[in-house]
């Protein structure tokens, strides 16, 4: 072969970072060695894989075609190395989870995975749905666990378990009376909501798509715990996953607002790149996810340790 796995590894890293220096840092190589290896790969085939724009390298058409094949080959090689070394555990696993899934489910599943496979490594990053989708398309993640919808043509989506958002308020709030609340009443409230780009906000906006009025969104926050604290302090009402509110409802520090006019159901979902090789570690992690939710109709009914 005219190329080496190391050259492909460098190509993939440069493609991911769009920078030779950042790729060199990731691979623990000098910038000169990284640049030389990439240049040699292109010279061997008398071609270019990147468009040079100042100090930024952007994949050209050929580079975009090569990237998924190179990623797959590197991952196959990693599994072969594990097999030849007679290791029983998996290689590094990069998981991206949206906020509700990441904080309440994915950390527990990652802990189970590491208990079963002590030599494995899991990197769990928590972001909103839009960021997880972007990272998956750039091969920065092996697997995404998201709360919102995903329609990207390069990604494969599989349903996991149903989830439901719920409108909630502080116990002293005027809507904390237990009776159904109309859209007119909801429209007159101050709202504390997740930011645009989050799966939670997407589900909420979709539920209100037939409502012609305007809501007074007083505050947008990126974290569910911050929203809970803001609502507890009386700043307004909120809408997040019932899973994230389970213990607060049990303690009585927050109260559900009954909204029969709103359909706030959604699905937690697995997302992968359709051209990415599915490793044994990925399959095992998904299997543990499904084991956690086996026979469960909705996320807040999962048996979990105490959630503060």
Mean pLDDT across the chain, nearest whole number?
Answer: 91
- The 10s digit of each residue's pLDDT in 1-56 is 788 999 999 999 999 899 999 999 989 999 999 999 999 999 999 999 999 888 78
Distance CA 234, CA 73 (A): 55
Q: What is the per-residue DSSP string for 191-250?
A: EEEEPTTSHHHHHHHHHTTT--S--EEEEEES-HHHHHHHHHTTS-EEEEEHHHHHHHHH
CA angle 278, 279, 284 (to 5 degrees): 105
For the ranges 193-197, 209-213, 254-258, the lowest mean pLDDT is seen at 209-213
Percent of the chain with pLDDT over 70: 96
Neighbouring C-alpha atoms within 13 Å toward the C-beta of 138: 16
**pLDDT value at position 112?**
94
**pLDDT value at position 85?**
64
Q: What's the predicted TM-score (pTM) here?
A: 0.74
């Amino acid at each position: 072969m005219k190329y080496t796995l190391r050259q492909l590894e460098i190509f993939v890293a440069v493609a991911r970072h769009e920078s030779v220096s950042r790729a060199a840092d990731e691979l623990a190589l000098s910038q000169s060695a990284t640049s030389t290896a990439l240049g040699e790969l292109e010279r061997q085939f008398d071609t270019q894989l990147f468009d040079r724009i100042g100090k930024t390298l952007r994949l050209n058409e050929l580079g975009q075609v090569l990237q998924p094949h190179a990623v797959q080959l590197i991952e196959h090689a990693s599994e072969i190395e594990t097999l030849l070394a007679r290791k029983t555990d998996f290689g590094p696993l990069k998981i991206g989870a949206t906020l509700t899934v990441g904080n309440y489910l994915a950390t527990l599943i990652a802990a189970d995975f590491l208990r079963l496979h002590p030599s494995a490594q899991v990197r769990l990053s928590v972001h909103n749905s839009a960021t997880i989708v972007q990272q998956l398309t750039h091969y920065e993640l092996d697997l995404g666990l998201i709360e919102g919808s995903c329609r990207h043509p390069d990604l494969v989506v599989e349903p996991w378990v149903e989830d439901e958002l719920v409108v909630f308020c502080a116990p002293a709030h005027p809507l904390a009376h237990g009776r159904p609340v109309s859209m007119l009443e909801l429209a007159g409230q101050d709202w504390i909501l997740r930011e645009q780009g989050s799966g939670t906000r997407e589900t909420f906006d979709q539920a209100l798509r037939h409502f012609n009025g305007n809501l007074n969104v007083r505050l947008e926050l990126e974290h569910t715990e911050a929203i809970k604290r803001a609502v507890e302090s009386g700043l307004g009402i909120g809408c997040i996953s019932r899973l994230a509110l389970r213990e607060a409802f049990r303690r009585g520090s927050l109260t559900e607002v009954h909204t029969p006019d709103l359909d706030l159901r959604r699905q937690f979902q697995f997302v992968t790149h359709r051209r990415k090789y599915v490793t044994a570690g990925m399959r095992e992690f998904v299997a543990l996810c499904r084991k956690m939710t086996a026979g469960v109709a909705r996320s807040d009914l999962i048996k979990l340790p105490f959630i503060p």
